[in-house]
Amino acid sequence: MDDLPWIEDGAKVAPRDARVLSKVFLDHLKVLEEGTRQYQYARNTLIEMNLSLVVFAARRFRNRGSSEMEDVIQVGTVGLIKAIDRFDLSRGVEFTSFAIPYIVGDIKRFFRDTTWAVHVPRRLQELRVDLAKSKEALAAVLGRNPTVKELAAHLDLTEGEVIEGVVAANGYVAGSIDTPAGEDTDDGGPKYADIMGEVDPALGLFEDLHTLGPLLRELDDRERTIIEMRFGQEMTQAEIGRELNLSQMHISRVIARTLTKLRTGLLAA
């Protein structure tokens, strides 16, 4: 379609190819007129090609609550669309690094808002958290559960507001990990605690590496070479010094300076 390659089904594009093609489509999207057939094609294809990011992000939430994975993926797709609409190639950031926080953020908000069995105003949802923290803090001091009057004084609220918060908290669904996980509700059946997975550390590493990519490209040749030798090839500072004909002290300073630069970039991303 014009200068864009024709892709029949973006969902079938391999992730590595999707990263390359996404740059092409994003570059065209910013100059196409919104609402035109070309714009819709570019935008829809971008969504299809990057749905694997949504599926990837959604997996970490597969043991959170009773929401169907299909619902989680739909919510994550909304985050992907936001990322596509707001992405700016000129920032020099990989699209995957930019998109994943949007996807994960929308999924987290979905779980936060749908953990309530009934609709509760946001202020009361937040009050439930404040009440729980205050009860724990006061109980530690008083040696007993605090009264409504004591909670009200601690939170600088009226007793009526505290009561309203307590009542609203009854609409919060907090499933027990001892709840039977299957149809077999006998004592011998598996419980959610038995099948709950742990957080895969590779998920966080995936996001960090994608964010780190553009930052590594901003390093000068010497910095990038030393970082590769130290952490990629696992060479010691002394070995790097001998290889590059530099003192170990100099290598140490370069590594410290470069890591500080990368850490600052990660925190700002």
Number of residues that make up the chain: 269
pLDDT score for 36: 87
pLDDT score for 178: 52
- From first to last of its 269 residues, the chain has per-residue pLDDT tens of 557 888 888 888 888 888 888 888 998 888 888 888 898 899 899 999 999 889 888 887 766 554 567 778 888 898 899 899 888 877 778 888 888 888 888 888 877 665 555 555 666 667 777 888 888 888 888 888 888 788 888 888 887 777 777 665 555 544 444 555 444 445 555 554 454 444 444 445 445 555 667 777 888 889 989 988 887 788 888 899 999 999 989 998 998 888 888 877 766 65
pLDDT score for 46: 92
Distance CA 83, CA 44 (A): 13
**Of 3.40.50.300, 3.20.20.10, 1.20.1530.20, 1.20.120.1810, which CATH number belongs to 10-114?**
1.20.120.1810
DSSP string, 144-166: SPPPHHHHHHHHT--HHHHHHHH
User: Does 3.40.50.2300 match the CATH number of domain 122-172?
Assistant: no
pLDDT score for 192: 46
CB crowding 232-247: b at 16 or more within 10 Å, else e = eeebebeebbeeeeee
pLDDT score for 155: 86
SS3 172: strand
Give the tokens for residue 165.
């918060």
pLDDT score for 49: 92
pLDDT score for 13: 85
User: Would you say the CATH fold of 219-268 matches that of 122-172?
Assistant: yes
Domain 219-268: CATH architecture, name and number where available: Orthogonal Bundle (1.10)
Which residues, 6 or more positions from 31, have their beta carbon under 8 angstroms from its beta carbon?
none
Query: 130, exposed or middle or buried, with CB in 10 Å at 0-12, 13-18, 19+?
Result: middle
18-23: long-range contacts, CB 8 A cutoff, minimum separation 24 = 18/49, 18/50, 18/52, 19/94, 19/95, 19/96, 21/49, 22/46, 22/49, 22/50, 22/95, 23/89, 23/95
Alpha carbon distances (Å) from 199 to 60, 64, 111, 127, 176: 7, 11, 17, 29, 19
pLDDT score for 150: 85
Domain boundaries, the chain: 10-114, 122-172, 219-268
pLDDT score for 122: 65
